[in-house]
A and B are shown apart, each in its own frame.
Chain A
Amino acid sequence: MEATRCTQGFLLAALAMLLCAWFFDSLPALFASVFLAGFLIFRACVFLRVARAASATVSLAREARPEWLRQGGIVTVVTTVHVEVPPGQTAILSDLPPAGAPVIQGLACSPEMAAGNHAVSLRYGISCLSSGNIQWRGLDLTIRDPFFSLTLLFRGEWFRTPVLRVDPVGRYQKREGLGIYGERDLERFTMLKGSGIRSFRDYVTGDDPRSIDWKLSAKHGKLFVREYIGTTGTHPLLVVDLPDSAVPCPSRLRDAVLGAALNVAREMSCGPQGCSLIVISGANLLEFMPDERSVQKIERALLQFHSPQRAVQCFRSLDPVAAEALRVRLAGSATPRSSMEKRLLEIYSRFIPEIRPLPFDIQCARALRRRSETALHVLTTGTGDISHLITLGMHARRMGVEARLGLPEAMASPALLRKLRGSGYSLVRVV
């Protein structure tokens, strides 16, 4: 509650009277001081009672179009508020747009309203700069009379609807070839025909009549058919690695990765085989959707986890294959072994048979063993531990699957790129 200038004047006069009463032992001055102070107290009580009554009459209906949009998009909002302003008071309504969504068109607050019943419509536009599910912060009602003003904060769920769903924007850079499948023309025959013409030959009975080149046939007086070049492509398995909740990750990095993933997943879902998607966070498999065609399901899978807690960390785990390779190297060494090497060989020989692969290793192997998966596209923020990415890359290399990785430009340090390139990824690029 705030005092107006008028109230401040009253308080000043009351204080002056009080000092006058104290120093001059004046009873009339004391009475005047008490009267002025008492008047303010009485007005404050009445004002608060009236403000409570006014707050009980507030009802709100908010309409936003569209409710589902991309980051940076504009939402048109119409907020209708019904309020009864008590006699002798004035009121101002302020609609509070979501955090990270500034008002860019119109005004989100009403002009000063006099006493009476009001149905105020606030029309404005907001630009959604933040992503995720965002809600309005509520509504503020400022009630004023000549002595006091009070801002009532309406923060209940009813005053925060609707929820805007803002998808992050990211760009998935096209790789070699066409589209996400990396389609390329080949100078050889394949099951799939390309668009280019490799050569012409005489027509043989049984050839597709659609491949006859009528112009050439007419020129030479006999039938020629076109031989198309072959085409090849891959069907990628998309892996989205979400950041660890325990490691600070700027939202723009996560938005860039999720935006790129949404972009490519939507494109893939329209393809002949749908979208094969794995959502992970570290060595924790969160969602696996093989050959999914429903865009809604894919979007839900990508957006339902924000920054999950990584229950399993694999930076201390030893890959059995790598350990066995080291053991074989130590055992096969012709040079005399040092005592440490002998001890290491002994330890390896004992515990390697006992090593059980992590569940994540098994999950990776099973996902990549599917016949349809011929490429692996990993999108990651590159924050925190990257052991699981190395595991994934190694599995892809072992199974002969072409692995590619994309990470935000801000995280693409030369050392990290070098490390990732050396762990099975044929291409590491920024998204």
Chain B
Amino acid sequence: MMRPGILMLAVLLVSAWITATGLYSTPEFPIAVMVGAICTVFGILILRISPHDPALFLLAQPSLFLSWGVSPFLTLVLEAVLAIALLSSLDLLHTANDLVFPAIFLILMAVVCLLLSGSTHVVFPLTLLIPAAGLAFLLILGLAYRAESRTGGGMP
């Protein structure tokens, strides 16, 4: 059994340094190296003090932010790898069924990535995404209500 946090730290370091390598010979390269170094130091600190996978996932976000400069597709791939690693390290991926929802989610994110990569400003995507987020929020409320109201249990 792998020690908690090791997998996430490995993915974090890989994503941070892949981004830095990808940005070689661009003006963002020094920033990417600094972000990579910060990710490395803080990642190791988090692992030593209190292994917390979601914290390592959030720590990787700045380097993914920079990876958009290399390619939006790279950002998508790195986010996908990080998300799968997070779910795996949190013991939330067990059966083939558990992979269906992440697959749907990643396909949806790929579509979003495709749409965003073709945009020049955030105004238009934002006007679409904010109502979509509201609808998603309502969907979750409805599902939560359904789960709470139908609690018959396994009794006859």
Binding site for B on A (CB under 8 A): 1, 6, 9-10, 13, 17, 21-22, 25-32, 34-39, 41-42, 44-46, 48-49, 51-52, 55-60, 82, 87-88, 115, 141, 145-146, 150, 152-156, 158-159
Contact = CB atoms under 8 A, between A and B. Distances in A.
B3 interface: no
B119 A27 contact: yes
A88 B140 contact: no
Contact of A38 (B68, B109, B156): B109
Contacts of A52: 146-147, 150
Interface string B20-64: 000000000000000000000000000000000111001001001
A30 B126 contact: yes
Interface in B115-156: 116-117, 119, 121-122, 125-126, 129, 133, 136, 139-140, 143-144, 146-148, 150-156
A13 B116 CA distance: 19
Contacts of A152: 147-148, 151
15 contacts: A6-B54, A25-B122, A30-B129, A31-B75, A38-B105, A38-B108, A42-B105, A46-B92, A48-B147, A57-B154, A87-B92, A88-B94, A155-B151, A158-B153, A159-B153
A21 B152 contact: no
B135 to A, nearest CB: 10
B128 to A, nearest CB: 10
B122 A88 contact: no
Nearest to A41: B136
Nearest to A36: B61
Given A34-B109, A38-B109, 16 more contacts: A9-B58, A10-B54, A13-B58, A25-B122, A27-B116, A28-B75, A30-B116, A32-B79, A35-B109, A38-B108, A42-B102, A42-B104, A52-B146, A56-B153, A57-B153, A59-B155
Nearest to B68: A28
B54 A59 contact: no
Contact of B54 (A9, A57, A150): A9
**Considering residues A25, A26, A42, A154, which has the most beta carbons from chain B within 10 angstroms of its beta carbon?**
A42
Interface of B is mostly: helix
Interface residues of B, number: 51
Interface in B98-117: 101-102, 104-105, 108-109, 112-113, 116-117
B37 to A, nearest CB: 20
Contacts of A51: 147
A311 B150 CA distance: 41
A283 B58 CA distance: 76
